[in-house]
Amino acid sequence: MADKVPSIRLNSGYDMPMLGLGSYNNFKPNEVGDAVKAAIQMGYRHIDTAWRYKTEPEIGATVKELIQEGKIKRKELFIVTKLWVHIHEPDQVEPHCRQSLEALGMDYIDLYLIHFPMAFEDEEFTKPTMTDYLDTWRAMEKLVDKGIVRSIGVSNFNKQQLERILKMDGLKYKPANNQVEMSPYLAQEDLLQFSLKNGISTTGFAPFGAPGQDYIPKDAPKTLEDPTIVQIGRKYNKSSAQVILRWGIQRGFALVPKSTNPSRLAQNMDVFDFKLSEEDTKAIVALDRGYRSNAHLFNTWKDHPFYPFVK
């Protein structure tokens, strides 16, 4: 099954599978480990986590178990994790990265991302600082030189912030990836095309609008129930989730939907036997309403110079 999943060649020279498993927190004990085990056995090779999610230890233990059982080899996996907002000072970056490596029980990370462009004094983002992400990026580059990270990138960065990194003096490594929210209600076409033009891959999180997450407002739009997407699904005999994943892959970005349900994990993987027409792809892009599911979590800081969610 894994050979069915297409990959994106990163500007670092490594390949990233276009479909992965997200592991945002709010899991019960052993739940994420069971999901990772089921996913890998189904053919998933791209596993997305972060220090913030608190899932690195369980993911690492599960991967170690599968390697010891001969079910998978480390080199066959693409592991992504992220630097959280209270560790942006350059001298903190490597120790924090090594903390994630230890939690994962691995010698290297395939892709390491700056989780958010704004820095904060504490992990609960209650008080922002003016630490410049360019200084953080220079520290990230050193991780590649030391061989503990293969590729580096960012998350939740906008076009202007990517441009600023690309134009920085002494840039050694361009961002290999920008992980941002991407869904039919947040198509981010301009950001996607800018990234493609500049050799920066994109990964979309919350492709279904993050239903069921505790931070989602009760009146949030239900992407999976959108009439246009439901109708397109009927046309191809596919679920709304499968249509959205196929739409993303055809647009050229990777996706990391979260699920702990084995049947949904299998369903999400079953998107490589059909192709959306150009008309259907455009119809889904036309649903874009600029709806960002997590923006309200950071609106308090919208006047900060590094606030990313600007139009």
- Exactly one of 14, 24, 44, 53 is catalytic; name it: 53
Spatial CB neighbours of 277, under 8 Å, sequence gap ≥ 6: none
C-alpha span between 45 and 38 (Å, rounded): 11
Q: Bridge-partner residues for 202, per DSSP?
A: 178
Residue 242 has which token pair? 């499968």
Q: Would you tell me the crossing angle of helices 90-104 and 133-145 to the nearest 10 degrees?
A: 50
Task: State yes or no: is 53 an active-site residue.
Answer: yes
Interatomic CA distance for residues 206 and 45, integer angstroms: 19
Task: Look up residue 265 and give its two tokens.
Answer: 């994990």
For residues 1 and 15, the answer to whether their CB atoms sit within 8 Å is: no
Q: Which of 125, 244, 240 is nearest to 186 (CA)?
A: 244
In angstroms, rounded to a whole number, what is the distance separating the alpha carbons of residues 230 and 228?
6
Catalytic positions, please?
53
